[in-house]
């Protein structure tokens, strides 16, 4: 489990435009938010006792997330989370279950307006586990350069602070 959490903490991101830079772009910010949430979620175990990847739904509050950004986030998170994008928050809750939890034992991140790319950005979001359980957070996300196994420089963005308004 500790190794899995370490993967969340150093989730590799790109700037959303396919090029590495020293700023946090939209794909970076969403990927970092998903990594933070995945690290917060209790593991879900299937009928065979196998731990499942955390399920995180992402919805932009009042906007649509660009398809290219969605593809970048999906590619960046495929090994450690199941990320599902929705255009409508209502699509993420299961109305057939008491309390209308987020589908698939997941969590929903309702993402606020995307900040302009910068070295450090603040991203507002509301996290839901069911239709009535929204918690507001502000994530400070910082671009971080690191060397990967090939000694090439790769872009990372990590959540460096979490506050609740």
Q: How far apart are CA 153 and CA 143, in angstroms?
A: 13
pLDDT in tens, 35-72: 999 999 988 888 899 999 999 999 999 899 999 999 99
Domain boundaries, the chain: 11-40+52-163
Distance of CA 157 to the CA centre of its chain: 11
Q: Is 119 helix (H, G, I), strand (E, B) or coil?
A: coil
Question: What pLDDT sits at residue 156?
Answer: 77
pLDDT in tens, 81-108: 999 999 999 999 999 999 999 999 999 9
In percent, how much of the chain has pLDDT > 90?
Answer: 72
Distance of CA 94 to the CA centre of its chain: 20
DSSP assignment, residue 121?
Answer: E
Question: Which helix (H) or strand (E) element contains residue 139?
Answer: strand 135-147
Residues 51-72 as b or e (16 or more Cβ within 10 Å = b) = eebbbbbbbbeeeebeeebbeb
Give CA angle at 149 (52, 142), nearest 5°: 70
Q: Is 2 helix (H, G, I), strand (E, B) or coil?
A: helix
């Amino acid at each position: 489990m500790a190794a899995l959490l370490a993967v969340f903490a150093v989730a590799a991101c790109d700037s959303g435009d396919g090029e590495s830079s020293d700023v946090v772009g939209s794909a970076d910010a969403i990927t970092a938010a998903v990594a933070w949430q995945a690290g917060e979620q209790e593991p879900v175990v299937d009928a065979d006792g196998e731990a499942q990847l955390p399920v995180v739904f992402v919805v932009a509050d009042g906007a649509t997330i660009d398809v290219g950004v969605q593809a970048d986030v999906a590619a960046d998170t495929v090994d450690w989370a199941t990320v599902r994008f929705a255009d409508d928050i209502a699509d993420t809750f299961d109305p057939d279950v008491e309390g209308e939890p987020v589908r698939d034992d997941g969590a929903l991140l309702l993402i606020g307006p995307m900040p302009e790319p910068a070295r450090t950005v603040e991203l507002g979001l509301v996290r839901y586990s069911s239709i009535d359980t929204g918690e507001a957070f502000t994530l400070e996300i910082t671009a971080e350069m690191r060397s990967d196994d090939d000694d090439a420089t790769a872009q990372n963005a990590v959540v460096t602070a979490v506050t609740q308004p």
